[in-house]
Amino acid sequence: MTRIRPALLLLAALAAGCGTNRPDIPKELLQPVGDAGASGYPAGPYGSAEGATVENFLFTQGWMDPEAAGYDPAKLAPIQLSDFYDPDGTKGIEILLINTAAVWCSACKAEHGGSGSTKNLNDHFNELSPKGFRILSLLFQDAQSQPPTADHLVAWTTSFETHFPMALDPEFQMGRYASAETAPLNMVVDARTMKILKKYIGDKSAVIWPYIENELDKRAAQ
């Protein structure tokens, strides 16, 4: 299991307090949504239900591998859902899990940190990535339910030693799929089509991972 570093103290400091789930987003944090038809990404219409195509959202501050980047905020770069779109299999991606997290969310921390014999997201990523599994986690609020900053992302990823893609979502673009107070959201997406296979709201680890493992095994057998 991943060991939580002392930087968790910084995360705790950033997490002091609690507030409304309706963030007041500063204008400088608002970012444009990615060009949904660009780079061969599937055209709309887009939707939020299972079976719908997920929109090509753009997250302007993220790392594809936070650990490799040294959790350095100077190395934050844009991440788009089209980065994971793999219609012909050339990227080796079969399944994308879009995960949301907030500093105030205890269930989100449990997913990223694990507990006892419970696997965390790093563990699942390590185990399943050779089969074509990828994760994109999005930090959408701080402890006061306000838009997070790069400092929050650094504290979070350092604390949980994150080495899968993670980015800030200060506009809470993923709010189109689930409300903030129901976090975490885990959305399983087919990387070949960018269609939503399953959408899990809240702590559903007991059913998420058997589904993903079964889906990957089915594809490997084809």
Instruction: Give the fold, CATH level 3, of 8-221.
Output: Glutaredoxin (3.40.30)
Q: What is the pLDDT of residue 202?
A: 96
Q: What is the pLDDT of residue 12?
A: 52
d(CA 78, CA 44): 22
Query: Whole-model pTM above 0.75?
Result: yes
Give yes or no for residue 84 having a pLDDT over 60. Answer: yes
The model's confidence at residue 21, banded by pLDDT at 50, 70 and 90, is very low
d(CA 66, CA 8): 16
What is the four-CA torsion angle of 213, 218, 46, 173, rounded to 10 degrees?
10
Q: Per-residue pLDDT averaged across 155-177, rounded?
A: 98
pLDDT tens digits for range 46-55: 999 999 999 9
d(CA 131, CA 95): 9
Angle, vertex CA 100, rays to CA 11 and CA 209, nearest 5: 110
Give yes or no for residue 9 having a pLDDT over 80. Answer: no
pLDDT tens digits for range 126-153: 999 999 999 999 999 999 999 999 999 9
Q: Which of 34-38, 71-75, 146-150, 209-213 is predicted least confidently?
A: 34-38
Q: What is the pLDDT of residue 206?
A: 93
